[in-house]
Structures are given as C-alpha cells and as structure tokens.
Amino acid sequence: METKKKVRVGKVISDKMSKTVVVSVERLIRHPVYKKVVRRAKNYKAHDERNECHIGDVVRIIETRPLSKDKRWKIMDILKTGRTAEITPQEIAEPEIEEKKSDSDTEQAKDS
C-alpha cells in the first residue's frame, strides 16, 4: 500500500544552516465568526543536500522521514529563484557622506 506524501510550496526565509533551509508556507483560511479571509503562515525546516536554495527562492517541499529533531521535509525542486542584494548598511551610508562633503565644499567656495 502506497501512502501519499504531503507536498507544500513556500518561500525560503533562512539558509544560514548547513544543508537546512527554513521555508515559510502561507495559506488562506476563512475566519469562523467574521468570515474574513485571513493569511496564516507556518515555517518548516527542510533538508537541502547540496545547499542550492537561498533566501527568497520559491521551493516545493515534500514530507519525509524524520531527519533530525525538527526536520521532516526535504526540498523537491526550486520553482523560482529569488534575487536578494547582499549590501551592508555601511555601503548604503557611504554615498550620502560623500555627497554631504561635496555640498559643504561648494558652500565654502561660494563664501570665499
């Protein structure tokens, strides 16, 4: 007898662990009293053997035997690659400092 394994689609929110990613799966439910559609999210730890997934990727995960204390899923395939910029706050702040210096230099030149 073959059992059907659960399959979910979600977004990778963390890839900091070795061979493990955290996938956030969102679903929509209707509130029982107010009948409004509410968004619910659950995080799953999934096994990524080759460390292919990165933050922002949309992936399909499949249920598997327990691989560790929290890992019960593995990456089936990557549906869409997320593009995230690796920029530090210092790199963002540097151009502003240079612009302020050049503005103050031009003001000093006008005053002279």
Residuewise pLDDT in 10s, the chain (112 residues): 678 999 999 999 999 999 999 999 999 999 999 999 999 999 999 999 999 999 999 999 999 999 999 999 999 999 999 876 666 666 776 665 556 666 666 666 666 5
pTM: 0.71
Burial class (CB in 10 A: 0-12, 13-18, 19+), 20: buried
The SS3 assignment for 7 reads: strand
Amino acid residing at 93: A
Amino acid at 79: L
The reported pLDDT for the residue numbered 10 is 97
At 22, is the secondary structure helix, strand, or coil? strand
How high is the pLDDT of residue 68?
96
pLDDT of residue 57: 95
Look at the domain 7-84 and name its fold.
Answer: OB fold (Dihydrolipoamide Acetyltransferase, E2P) (2.40.50)
CB 74 within 8 Å of CB 59: no
**Domain ranges (residues) in the chain:** 7-84
